[in-house]
């Protein structure tokens, strides 16, 4: 299992957000992409990047425009987070609505 996973739920539609491109980046001197995937029919990315990552700062970049269309208010969502325990699983879901989103560390 990947160390980092995600789940996108479309709260306006009341359904999982299938087909959202997601990128995992690591911060060093700048940002570098580690992995990319697309949410499945359940709005999940179960395999995103390696099964281990060193402690550090990472970000998930969600291409909402690819999912919601060119007129969406939030064309991209970036969630930046820190991994302090490289042995722990990090599940970072997004609850999406047309004009806002929320995120948290899931299990």
Tell me the per-residue pLDDT of 32-79, one tens digit each, with 9 for 90 and over. Answer: 999 999 999 999 999 998 888 999 999 999 999 999 999 999 999 999
- Binding-site residues, in ranges, read 7, 44, 104
pTM for the structure as a whole: 0.96
Q: Give the whole-angstrom CA distance, residue 39 versus residue 101.
A: 17
Percent of the chain clearing pLDDT 70 (strictly above): 100
Q: Which of 26, 42, 22, 44 is nearest to 34 (CA)?
A: 26
Burial category of 58 from C-beta neighbours within 10 Å (exposed 0-12, middle 13-18, buried 19 and up): buried
- Binding-site residues for substrate, in ranges, read 7, 44, 104
Q: What is the CATH number of domain 4-103?
A: 2.60.40.180
Q: Give the whole-angstrom CA distance, residue 31 versus residue 99.
A: 27
Residue 36 backbone phi and psi in degrees, to 5: -145, 150
């Amino acid at each position: 299992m990947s160390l980092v996973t995600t789940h996108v739920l479309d709260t306006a539609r009341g359904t999982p957000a299938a087909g959202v491109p997601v990128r995992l980046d690591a911060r060093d001197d700048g940002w570098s992409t580690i992995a990319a995937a697309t949410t499945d029919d359940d709005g999940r990315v179960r395999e995103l990047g390696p099964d281990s990552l060193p402690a550090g700062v990472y970000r998930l970049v969600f291409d909402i425009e690819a999912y919601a269309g060119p007129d969406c208010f939030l064309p991209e969502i970036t969630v930046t987070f820190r991994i302090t325990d490289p042995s722990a699983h990090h599940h970072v879901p997004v609850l999406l609505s047309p004009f806002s989103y929320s995120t948290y560390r899931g299990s």
